[in-house]
């Protein structure tokens, strides 16, 4: 495990960019101990989310005739509690119990589903989205902190890959299963299925050991929150990824907001076509997550993987929108899914590896809040501009810019790696 910070300026452990010749230790199977409960809870919690939230997006666009502004409100309703909650929960998890915060988060996820189930108008769907945002704000920092306590350092990338695998498997089952249920019996059947799935994490987590960080207990103050932000900014690779993922998420969120309208108006699919696209996205992400989980020797290469993931996401979005063909969109969605599998697990693994355990919750919360703040900015922009936002041109440009950001980030990581190793700058 990493050493605990000693209260001085740097709260991370210096690690070379590439661990030359590192030996791969024989670690116990990831799913043989308590960590399997975290993975199982994530699987069923994500299954509840993807099935229910897919129905929410479909109903907004097709049942209630939402336009660009209405869809943007869905994004705003999710982002606001996600941002504020992530910052607060990042502090709470560093001073309290990751296990019980996870239980609280999954309880909020369960509560969001009946609100959408009873919906008679768009505001009900907005309220459900608000509850989902609060749930994720509680779950994300808690699960990341708990993973760092349960898993050996040399298996952190694989552990986060296992979590991502369960998440992406939930996308596949939740989206494709939801699409079949939607075509056969309508959205209310999806909500019933999601409600049952949402109960499973609450049962599974009760048997999880109540591990807590052993370092300094932060107060609920702005100064302690700034300490988490400072720890992230002072690590060179985390600083690069903080800028890259924050700016990139501005455009990625715009794609998620406008995608239902693109599918309905440009691809001409008012059926369950959106959920099938989400399902192929999940298949690509599942394949990528399995590859990450099974790979060894990724320690020190986390930042490079994140940048490659961003490039694939941008390239997938561009192909998805530029060709305006449903079959091509299915393939492109899978490519973007592979990118997402390389986006989050290595990022979380890097945080867990280089940040002391008494600040992991705060640093994860800072990343989540910054990314979602960028998403909120794009949602608000679409809300203000409304119908002035041309869906297809906006998404084409977004895909190109996301891929370009990934390339810039990849170069910055490579330069930083040469500086750490003391390699001469190529002429």
The pLDDT tens digits of the residues spanning 250-295 come to 899 889 888 888 988 888 887 677 888 888 888 898 888 888 777 7
Band of the pLDDT at 149, cuts 50, 70, 90? confident
- Residue 157 · residue 134 · CB < 8 Å: no
- Which residues, other chains included, contact 244 with Cβ-Cβ below 8 Å and sequence gap of 6+? 306, 307, 310, 405, 406, 408, 409
Buried b or exposed e, range 381-395, using 16+ CB within 10 angstroms = ebbeeeeebebeebb
- Give the separation between CA 391 and CA 372, rounded to whole angstroms: 21
In the chain, how long is the greatest CA-to-CA distance? 64
Residue 282 token pair: 């999940």
Backbone angles phi, psi at 86, to 5 degrees: -60, -40
Q: What is the pLDDT of residue 8?
A: 38
Q: What is the pLDDT of residue 32?
A: 60
Q: What is the pLDDT of residue 422?
A: 53
Q: What is the pLDDT of residue 106?
A: 92
Higher pLDDT, 372 or 383: 383
DSSP 343-376: HHHHHHHHHHHHB-TTTHHHHHHHHHHHHHHHHH
Q: In this prediction, what percent of the chain has a pLDDT beyond 90? A: 21
Beta-carbon-side half-sphere exposure of residue 265 (alpha carbons within 13 Å): 13
Band of the pLDDT at 423, cuts 50, 70, 90? low
Mean pLDDT in the chain? Answer: 80
Is the predicted pLDDT of residue 66 greater than 60, yes or no?
yes
Closest CA to 145 of 80, 97, 197: 97
Closest CA to 242 of 86, 403, 411, 363: 363
3-state secondary structure of 12: strand
DSSP alpha helices (H): ranges in 59-186?
A: 68-93, 98-117, 122-150, 156-185
First to last CA, the chain: 39
Q: What is the mean pLDDT of residues 405-417?
A: 88
Domain ranges in the chain? Answer: 33-205+230-420
Closest CA to 68 of 272, 278, 262, 323: 262
Q: What is the pLDDT of residue 91?
A: 67
Band of the pLDDT at 13, cuts 50, 70, 90? very low
Q: Is 397 exposed, middle or buried (0-12, 13-18, 19+ CB in 10 A)?
A: middle
Q: What is the pLDDT of residue 325?
A: 92
Q: What is the pLDDT of residue 153?
A: 72
Band of the pLDDT at 113, cuts 50, 70, 90? very high
Q: What is the mean pLDDT of residues 160-186?
A: 81
Q: What is the mean pLDDT of residues 354-365?
A: 75
Express each pLDDT in 25-57 by its tens digit.
333 455 567 888 888 999 999 888 888 887 888
Closest CA to 17 of 216, 278, 305: 305
Band of the pLDDT at 425, cuts 50, 70, 90? very low
Q: What is the pLDDT of residue 318?
A: 96
Query: Which residue reads 């409960």 in tokens?
Result: 37
Helix, strand, coil shares of the chain, percent, nearest 5, are 80, 0, 20
Residue 253 token pair: 């969120």
Q: Which CATH class is domain 33-205+230-420?
A: mainly alpha
Q: What is the pLDDT of residue 223?
A: 67
DSSP letter, residue 20: T
- Residue 178 · residue 54 · CB < 8 Å: yes
Backbone angles phi, psi at 94, to 5 degrees: -80, -10
- Give the separation between CA 412 and CA 416, rounded to whole angstroms: 6
- Residue 215 · residue 356 · CB < 8 Å: yes
Q: What is the pLDDT of residue 3?
A: 39
Closest CA to 324 of 281, 262, 282: 262
Closest CA to 10 of 198, 318, 236, 179: 236
> Which residues partner with 12 through β-bridges?
355
Is the predicted pLDDT of residue 336 greater than 90, yes or no?
yes
Beta-carbon-side half-sphere exposure of residue 358 (alpha carbons within 13 Å): 15
Range with the poorest average pLDDT among 182-196, 246-260, 364-378: 364-378
């Amino acid at each position: 495990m990493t050493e605990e910070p000693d209260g001085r300026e740097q709260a991370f452990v210096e690690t070379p960019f590439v661990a030359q010749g590192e030996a791969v230790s024989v670690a116990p199977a990831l799913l043989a101990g308590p960590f399997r409960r975290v993975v199982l809870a994530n699987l069923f919690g994500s299954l509840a989310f993807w099935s229910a939230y897919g129905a929410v997006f479909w109903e907004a666009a097709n049942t209630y005739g939402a336009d660009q502004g209405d869809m943007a409100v869905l994004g705003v309703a999710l982002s606001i509690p996600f941002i504020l909650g992530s910052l607060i929960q990042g502090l709470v998890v560093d001073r309290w119990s990751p296990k019980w915060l996870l239980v609280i988060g999954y309880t909020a996820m369960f509560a969001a589903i009946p609100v959408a189930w009873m919906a008679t108008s768009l505001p009900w769907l907005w309220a459900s989205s608000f509850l989902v945002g609060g749930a994720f704000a509680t779950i994300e920092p808690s699960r990341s902190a708990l993973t760092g306590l349960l898993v050996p350092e040399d298996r952190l990338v694989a552990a986060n890959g296992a979590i991502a695998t369960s998440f992406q498997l939930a996308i596949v089952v939740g989206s494709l299963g939801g699409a079949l249920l939607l075509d056969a019996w309508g959205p209310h059947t999806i909500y019933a299925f999601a409600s049952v799935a949402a109960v499973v994490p609450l049962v599974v987590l009760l048997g999880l050991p109540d591990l807590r960080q052993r370092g300094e207990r932060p107060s609920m103050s702005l100064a302690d929150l700034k300490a988490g932000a400072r720890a992230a900014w002072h690590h060179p690779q985390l600083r690069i990824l903080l800028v890259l993922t924050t700016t990139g998420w501005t455009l990625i969120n715009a794609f998620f907001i406008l995608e239902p309208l693109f599918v309905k108006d440009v691809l001409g699919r008012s059926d369950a076509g959106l959920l099938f696209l989400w399902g192929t996205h999940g298949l690509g992400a599942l394949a990528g997550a399995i590859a990450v989980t099974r790979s060894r020797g990724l320690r020190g290469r986390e930042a490079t993987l994140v940048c490659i993931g961003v490039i694939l996401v941008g390239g997938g979005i561009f192909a998805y929108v530029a060709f305006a063909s449903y079959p091509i969109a299915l393939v492109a969605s899978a490519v973007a899914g592979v990118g997402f599998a390389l986006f989050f697990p290595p990022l979380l693994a890097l945080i867990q590896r280089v940040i002391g355990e008494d600040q992991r919750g705060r640093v994860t919360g800072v990343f989540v809040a910054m990314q979602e703040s960028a998403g909120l900015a794009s949602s608000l922009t679409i809300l203000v501009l409304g119908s002035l936002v041309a869906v297809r041109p906006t998404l084409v440009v977004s895909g190109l810019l996301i891929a370009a950001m990934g390339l810039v980030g990849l170069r910055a990581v490579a330069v930083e790696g040469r500086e750490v190793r003391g390699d001469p700058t190529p002429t």
